Structure 1
């Protein structure tokens, strides 16, 4: 099967990672017979003034037109109307779902049960680098305050210090949302400290792939799903919810109920001392397979 995909970018790195993950899943399903053409971000003003780029005429006609993020929506729809193909929007769009052929939406966004909706378990993430894990390697990733969670610095520090007392080679890193001073207060507790500003682009993926144990604060739902792309045991450090009805907290609880995560209470019971290898989540492959099946390109 020869598959041609036009991928509309929107300038947001997190969004573009999700569309890249879907392309990766499609390659896993059909092999190297896939051509993907990336199309630079377009504003609505540019579309109204100039229309779609003229060089799209030179590209092979698309089977799928893929995009993630608001800025990609109108260009995708206009390209589909003019050049054909099936539109595939990733994440819940700002436009009506019925305007798109397919939508891939995380379950924690509570997508409607429509025929064109493919439900993913979390945001799509690309596979991690291949290679063996490093014996004893542990990784702790810290988020920060968000619209869903308050930040309990005292609790986070206590859990992290307890983890750092466990045997192994521990690495601790923060993120853009981490409050100032959090990493500094952990110096001397053991482990190696890395500020996100000082890390090269591929650093995190390499650390996730090498770790036997990964712990993430509960506000970072995207980071939890990236960690689940590894073979490591993944734990979550819970944070206080800002409201009773919290879709991110519910998504984390489902992962705990499915025993895909462990929580900080397990530390008291000694359950996290030995890492248990598992298979990567690989949602990008499952969603790609569902997309091909619903499009009639593979058998059910």
Structure 2
């Protein structure tokens, strides 16, 4: 039995990566029975004035209508009303949850315990290419100050310098939020330094797939979950919390409690006996979605 999926895009790469991850998970669960049709971003003004794109009537009727991001919510709901199917929203929507058939929401966002809510551990991320791990390859990814964390420049530099003592081939990259001069302060460390502006498309996926060890600053929770799609040992570089109640810090702490990541820099030089399986949340959530469609919860 085939499963027809309409995947609504909103023009935001981060959102579209999550919906692509869910489609990947559905294919892992249901095999080649999944047909996916991508529908480009539809502006609200155009939607209200002209309605849904005319070419949707030529597509096979959807079983699932999926999307992430606020701009996709109204088009998905209108598509269900006209063409049928079930709407699956990824991330907590701005509209009432009861309007959607299913919602896949990170547990650290603390959604209400409703029958249509599927909890994910972090954002959904696409699988990395397998079989590319290069022994002795280390990767350090630096974030920056955020609404949840302050930036401790001295502490981050000290931790990075301690990590670099391990005899690995290290690559260090910053991000848009990284304070200026952070990467320059590590010049002469022997690591390969890569500014985010200079990284070509696909560079990060390649680095994550090749690394044997990956360290990420604690503000970058989405990057931590992308790193957990690899087979690498993943570590977190701690940062001071801006407030006592911090849902992102709680999500990172759960990863530490589960042993999925480490905060012990001494581990950076220890031998790795067994490769860690990828986290694979996109498969877990996709299989949960298919089970709930077959056996609804009252």
TM band (smaller chain):
over 0.9
Match of 2:262 in 1: 262
**Does the C-alpha gap of structure 1 residues 289 and 275 become closer, same or farther in structure 2, counting only changes over 3 Å?**
farther
- Separation in 2 of the partners of 1:112 and 1:274? 42
**1:1-300 correspondence to structure 2 within 5 Å:** 1-263=1-263, 266-267=264-265, 270-276=266-272, 277-296=275-294
Contact 1:175 1:195 in 2 (8 A): yes
Offset, 1:197? 1.2
Contact 1:183 1:193 in 2 (8 A): yes
Contact 1:236 1:262 in 2 (8 A): yes
Superposition CA RMSD, Å = 1.2
- Separation in 1 of the partners of 2:24 and 2:146? 30
SS state at 1:271 partner: helix
TM-score (norm 2): 0.96
Offset, 1:297? 8.2
Contact 2:144 2:177 in 1 (8 A): yes
Contact 1:127 1:282 in 2 (8 A): yes
Contact 2:89 2:102 in 1 (8 A): yes
- Separation in 1 of the partners of 2:295 and 2:112? 24
Offset, 1:161? 0.9
Deviates more, 1:58-67 or 1:43-52: 43-52
Contact 2:163 2:268 in 1 (8 A): no
Offset, 1:57? 0.4
- Separation in 2 of the partners of 1:2 and 1:153? 53
- Separation in 1 of the partners of 2:214 and 2:130? 17
SS state at 1:180 partner: coil
Contact 2:139 2:215 in 1 (8 A): yes
Contact 2:22 2:124 in 1 (8 A): yes
- Separation in 2 of the partners of 1:138 and 1:4? 41
TM-score (norm 1): 0.96
**Does the C-alpha gap of structure 1 residues 295 and 275 become closer, same or farther in structure 2, counting only changes over 3 Å?**
farther
- Paired residue total: 294
Q: Deviations for 1:72-103, whole angstroms, at most 9, x for unmatched residues?
A: 00000000011000000000000000000000
Contact 1:218 1:239 in 2 (8 A): yes
SS state at 2:286 partner: helix
Offset, 1:237? 0.5
- Separation in 1 of the partners of 2:125 and 2:212? 19
- Separation in 2 of the partners of 1:104 and 1:274? 37
- Separation in 1 of the partners of 2:185 and 2:191? 13
Contact 1:232 1:275 in 2 (8 A): no
- Separation in 1 of the partners of 2:176 and 2:295? 41
Contact 1:212 1:275 in 2 (8 A): no
